[in-house]
Chains A and B, each alone.
Chain A
Amino acid sequence: MLRNVLLAVAAACIGVSAASAQGAGANFPSKPIRVIVPFPPGQSADIIVRLLADKIKKQSGATVVVENKPGGNAIIGASEAARARPDGYTLLMAGTTAMSAAASMNANLPYDPVKSFTPVTGVALNSYVLVVKPDYPANSVQDIVELARKSPGKLSFGSGNQSSRMAAELFKTMTGVELLHIPYQGTEQAMSDLVNGQITMMFNGVMTSNPYLKRKDLKALGVSSQAREPELPDVPVIGDTVAGYSFIAWQGLVAPAGVPRETVATLNRLFTDALKDGEIYARLNGLGMTVWPVSQEELGKVIAEDKVKWRMLVTKAGIPVVQ
């Protein structure tokens, strides 16, 4: 932490001396690029950016500085990024929480996920797996749907974060079954309650579920992605049963709206080059994620789609919007 402060100070000093000489264009980046991470140090988003910063330094010599601005469900950090100068030197490590969830659950969000930002690049994807107790009388997604139809509102699902909840809410709306939502702070306690039979099911991250599945403390019924997960080759896709179902949480880098096109292109190249590196690929897999080195246009499309999809879900599920 102290190191970060010192780094930031050093970065600021370099920035001042270099600022006079730089314009937009060919010599970008001529000073350190600041990435605002709206989560505390040590969370996956933070670790990913630090890994990327290290790799970029080695690949191109450009300096990327991480600045943690946690709190307010990522709204604090995202607001600051939205207000920053659109010169390409301030980026936001955005994702489902800061964009999709914040926009659909807050009436007075100080920014708009689409209008306030310029998409830069996708970074990582995280899919979910539907898990139940091993002795639960359901062996497929179809079984769960039938059981839930027989006793509406008696089957429950736990969630430790908004994305996990939304994966289940989408499942609810697409199958038309009634499930009771039991919210948790973090997935640990929810997993423990699931193993103890307090709750029926949960949509949980593939990697965090893996140890439970290996110990046979839980069994997997389906994955939320469009294709089978490499870590869980035997688990079918939920979309096979529930046509059109797909839910993936994403992380990506965005800049304040109005960054010049060529600067965005340079940034995209810097980060996607790092993401395509074998070591980064392996590290992200270790964190339970798949690298997602896509163009700015593709990230922009996902952000816009998510905004609509999540708002619809929030309305249908009756989740209260923060005023």
Chain B
Amino acid sequence: MTLVESLLAGFSVAATPSNLLFCLLGVTLGTLIGVLPGLGPTATISLLLPFTFGLDPVTSLIMLAGIYYGAQYGGSTTAILINLPGEASSVVTCLDGYQMARQGRAGTALTIAALGSLFAGIVGSFVIALWGPVLADFARGFSSPEYFALMVLGLVAAIVLAQGSLLNAIAAIMMGMFIGLIGIDRTSGVARYTFGQPELFDGIGFVPVAMGVFGLVEIAVNLEQTQGKRQVLSQVGRLWLTRDDVAKAYRAVLRGTGIGCLLGILPGGGAVLGSFASYALERRVSRDPARFGHGAIEGVAGPESANNAAAQTSFIPLLTLGIPSNGIMALLMGAMMVQGIAPGPEVMTSRPELFWGLIASMLIGNLLLVVINLPMIGIWVKLLHVPYRILFPTILIVCCVGVYTLNNSIFEVVVMAGFGVFGYAMRKSGCEGAPFLLGLILGPLMEEHLRRAMLISFGDPSVFVTRPVSAVLLLIAVLLFAFAVIPSVSLMRAKTFEED
């Protein structure tokens, strides 16, 4: 089948009334939680996960994906209007977006954010359509040594790209891997840290942990911060772009889209990384870097395009290799597996309607998002006034019901509560939840593939370097890790040079 035929087949799946409805539902919900600070897509998707199991797999994926990229749109709204990033990926949008709003150009900033996201979203979807099958063909040759190398690369990337201290990121990943050890070892059948409890035989469930570490911690942190009066700008200003705006922004949109697409594919990458990298790039290539931080439209256009492009392309590793590149993709992988679909190269041939239907829905969803976002900015702003004392008990109840219905198990509700406390302690000590979660997911997979690769090779470790793909992946991982260490080296060097 050609690309056009496949896409048309995808549209026939995505355009059914129920799939359109759930796409709309997903992107609306995504925008909503994007606008609301404190409730991110990870928490939302994990909350909704148990409720999607009754849906058709394609429908549930369409909706959950919509939440993720929808949040990239919504996140910019709060960042621009009240200097509060609705999403982590919108942090850099605050820098210039809020300044533009203060200058009465909020409408322009919101429009360029939405249009940039639309362009990036469409390009990102086509990148999946074009590269996805190629990568899947390539991935078909993957066996345990390659998967092991890929997991190593993913973990190294998670360490390198984590914000803050390198040591904290490593610690978080290690803790995640340790929690991942719990359960009956699939290779040997030996029970590890189960204390004879059948509840622990399958290991600690990923969804309760994610809901504890993200959902509950988010609530706790929000309650902790004083609910001071937030200044909301009443003046949104004109929505349309001037010729000068377009001239300045379009290159930034193009560059942002490119860098976002690229970083989205990388294991450990995603929307946050894309937006930061794009902002840095815009500053570097600008003829007048001094304008940045004072309302430069490129500073909004680039990162907002990048985060949406990355949100789309981060589906590639999941859909083609069956490897989640970030916490959200891991949640979606869980959603697929519960539905009896093992994500991997097989999906595209065995369930083409799922792959192409999802891509088609992304194109539809991106259009819907622009329609939702531009005329409804006024309404989104009003939602910021919902008092948190009403919002947070609702979220808490939904969390508990959601986890319980997952396996009809009280034990998992307790697990969620426990990891809520654990996650809070982690947050307080400067450890991020995302690397912890990646350790929890990738650790057991890495072990499984390492041991299987060793079994198949009759104990010869050279398979990892004699098989070309595995060797290249491991080499990249080593180089990436070296990069993470080098900045301190270069900093020392810089200081030495200064003294000369």
Which A residues are closer than 8 A to B by beta carbons?
Answer: 1-5, 40-43, 67-73, 75-76, 79, 105, 108, 110, 156, 180, 182-186, 188-189, 192-193, 196, 198-199, 211, 319-320, 322-323
Contacts and interface: CB of A to CB of B under 8 A. Distances in A.
A76 B200 CA distance: 10
B371 interface: no
A71 B202 contact: yes
Nearest to A72: B198
Nearest to B184: A322
Contacts of B184: 73, 322
A322 B191 contact: yes
B201 A72 contact: yes
Nearest to A181: B455
A1 B338 CA distance: 12
Nearest to B52: A1
7 contacts: A2-B51, A4-B405, A41-B53, A43-B340, A71-B199, A110-B198, A323-B191
B342 interface: yes
A192 B343 CA distance: 13
Given A1-B54, A156-B456, 12 more contacts: A1-B50, A4-B405, A42-B53, A42-B338, A42-B339, A67-B408, A76-B198, A105-B189, A182-B455, A184-B186, A185-B448, A322-B201
B407 A192 contact: no
A175 B468 CA distance: 38
B456 A72 contact: no
Nearest to B188: A320
Nearest to B200: A72
Contacts of A2: 51, 54, 405
B338 to A, nearest CB: 6
B196 interface: yes
Nearest to B404: A5
Interface in B426-459: 448, 452, 455-456
Interface in B288-341: 338-340
B468 to A, nearest CB: 15
B174 to A, nearest CB: 23
Contacts of A5: 405
A188 B342 contact: yes
A106 to B, nearest CB: 9
A76 B199 contact: yes
Nearest to B402: A1
Contacts of B202: 71-73
B248 interface: no
B342 A320 contact: no
Interface string B349-374: 01000000000000000000000000
B173 to A, nearest CB: 21
A71 B54 contact: no
A79 B345 CA distance: 38
B340 A42 contact: yes
A224 to B, nearest CB: 22
Contact of B408 (A42, A68, A73): A68
B190 A320 contact: yes
Contacts of B200: 72
A236 to B, nearest CB: 28
Contacts of A108: 196
A30 B201 CA distance: 37
B141 interface: yes
Contacts of B189: 105, 319-320, 322
Contacts of B186: 183-185
A27 to B, nearest CB: 29
B497 to A, nearest CB: 52
B198 A198 contact: no
A182 B405 contact: no
Interface in B186-236: 186-191, 194, 196, 198-202
Interface size class of B (residues with CB under 8 A): 35 or more
B405 A180 contact: no
Contacts of A182: 452, 455-456
A321 to B, nearest CB: 8
B366 to A, nearest CB: 29
Contacts of B408: 67-69
B251 interface: no
Contacts of B345: 192
A183 B198 contact: no
Contacts of B188: 320
B12 interface: no
A319 B194 CA distance: 18
Contacts of B133: none
B466 interface: no
Contact of B141 (A42, A68, A76, A196): A196
Interface string B28-68: 00000000000000000000001101100000000000000
A183 B186 CA distance: 7
A3 B54 contact: yes
Contact of B51 (A1, A72, A180, A211): A1
B203 to A, nearest CB: 10
A69 B407 contact: yes
B143 interface: yes
B104 interface: no
A188 B344 contact: yes
A178 to B, nearest CB: 13
B409 interface: yes
B140 interface: yes
Interface in B139-156: 140-141, 143-144
A121 B190 CA distance: 33
B407 A1 contact: no
A24 B338 CA distance: 39
B199 A72 contact: yes
B349 to A, nearest CB: 10
The residue among A1, A68, A184, A185 with the most chain B CB atoms within 10 A of its own CB is: A1
B137 interface: no
B245 interface: no
A193 B198 contact: no
Nearest to A74: B198
A75 B201 contact: yes
A286 B408 CA distance: 28
A3 B456 CA distance: 46
The residue among B51, B140, B198, B340 with the most chain A CB atoms within 10 A of its own CB is: B198
Contacts of B53: 1, 41-42
A196 B469 CA distance: 15
B198 A186 contact: no
A79 B54 contact: no
Contact of A180 (B54, B342, B455): B455
Nearest to B140: A192
A183 B405 contact: no
Nearest to A75: B198
Contacts of B338: 40-42
A315 to B, nearest CB: 14
A76 B412 CA distance: 13
Contacts of B50: 1
